[in-house]
Amino acid sequence: MSETAVIASGNDTAKAPFMGMFERYLTVWVALCIVVGIALGHLIPGAFQAVAALEVAKVNLPVAALIWLMIVPMLLKIDFQALGQVKEHWRGVGVTLFINWAVKPFSMALLAWLFINTGAKWMDLRDDEDEGLHRYTSRLKIRHDRVDEGIRSRK
């Protein structure tokens, strides 16, 4: 948002940030990147498997690097001198802490419970005796055990 637009309100003119084409159509760009990524994954799966194999302690290194590239510029814009004024905004900080630590965990647990109880039925992972979900989780456990054995055998 490097440009500004002038908004006339009565006699006063105020400068408001002007949204460029990238910012205005960000949702379209994200959707386009998702579609292109899926298409490339189908066209050249070997390249994507090689990138997916770049892991340390179950953390994908390319994803970690890209997340850092996304976050570091925001961290550099922090005004550390303004941190002393945080106590003046204690209500906002309190609400944020309350939502993030008291509400979010329970809302996420509710969503997980809803997904497992309803979404698993839609995905045919559950049947009357929960055998489908049991088979699915057993496969995950077996896969996890094999990965664990592979890691231990390398040492």
pLDDT at position 104 is 94
Q: Are 6 and 15 in contact (CB under 8 A)?
A: yes
Residue 21 neighbours by CB distance under 10 Å:
9
Indicate if the alpha-carbon torsion angle 28, 30, 31, 37 is positive or negative: positive
d(CA 127, CA 109) in angstroms, rounded, equals 22
**Do the beta carbons of residue 38 and residue 45 sit within 8 Å?**
no
Asked if residue 57 lies in contact with residue 64, where contact means CB atoms within 8 angstroms, the answer is: no
Amino acid at 146: R
For residue 59, report the phi and psi dihedrals to the nearest 5 degrees: -115, 125
Q: What is the pLDDT of residue 151?
A: 60
Contact present, 93 and 86 (Cβ < 8 Å): yes
Give the model's pLDDT for residue 75: 83
The per-residue pLDDT for 106 is 92
The pLDDT profile of the chain, 155 residues, written as one tens digit per residue, is 444 445 555 555 667 677 888 888 999 999 999 999 999 999 999 998 999 899 998 889 999 999 999 898 888 887 878 888 888 888 999 999 999 999 999 999 888 888 777 665 555 554 555 555 566 666 666 666 666 666 666 65
pLDDT at residue 116, as a whole number: 76
The full set of domain ranges for the chain reads: 1-43
* pLDDT at residue 2, rounded to an integer: 44
Answer whether 141's CB lies under 8 Å from 133's CB: no
